[in-house]
Amino acid sequence: MRALKPVGADVYALLTDAASLLALKEVAEPEGYAVLEGPEEDVLARYGAAIRRFSVNEVVRATGDNPLTSARLARDIIAAHRAQGSDLSHYLGVPWGSGVEVVTAEALLEAERDARAADEREHITTYLYRHPERFRVLEPSAPAYADAKDCRVTVDTPSDLEEVRRIFAALYDGQPIEIDRVIDWLRKNPAPAGAGRPGPSHG
């Protein structure tokens, strides 16, 4: 949550399910995040409800398993998204776990209305990627400062968690760690065998 605050937004919100609501409110509200409850499996419906609640025109989506989300990358892709008039934008080739998706509220509401497959409800932009005839998707290559598709900084497995703890132990000074510092440190301090392997998807 703190990593995203430098991005700048009218609303900061954490969207979750009923099982996690109380625990997350305790940490999110002191950080200035509204907390909204929605269906456990239908994450797309959570976003639709949030859009209507806050009357926003644009959503910057980051996931909770990415503690090294980059505000710099987010600001840059937001600028590109707006300049190109895209419906959905994200970088290719950034470290897995460092990027965000930027999507218009209109496109997400269309997806909420029309998406039927379970994975399209669980992953909020899957429907948009599957319908390039309807939605303008911008996928620029990573900027030079974050061109490191071989790096992985998400937390999906126990070894991922250990790797991220290793990064924080070395670099965290009370402020969010920007991605150029992470990449430079990882290049000089490679992960132990089996840890921090890159994933096969968007950053």
Could you tell me the pLDDT band of residue 182, with boundaries at 50, 70 and 90? very high
Dihedral-angle region of residue 81 (phi above 0 means left; psi in -120 to 50 means alpha; beta otherwise): alpha
Q: What is the pLDDT of residue 141?
A: 98
State the Cα–Cα distance between residues 122 and 2, nearest whole angstrom: 25
Strands 13-16 and 58-61: unpaired
The tens digit of pLDDT for each residue in 68-108 reads 999 999 999 999 999 999 999 999 999 999 999 999 999 99
Which has the closest alpha carbon to 39: 112, 131, 127?
Answer: 112
Percent of the chain surpassing pLDDT 70: 95
Tokens found for residue 53: 């609640």
pTM of the full structure: 0.92
Q: Three-state secondary structure along 77-108?
A: HHHHHHHHCCCEECCECCCECCCCEEEEHHHH
The tens digit of pLDDT for each residue in 122-158 reads 999 999 999 999 999 999 999 999 999 999 999 999 9
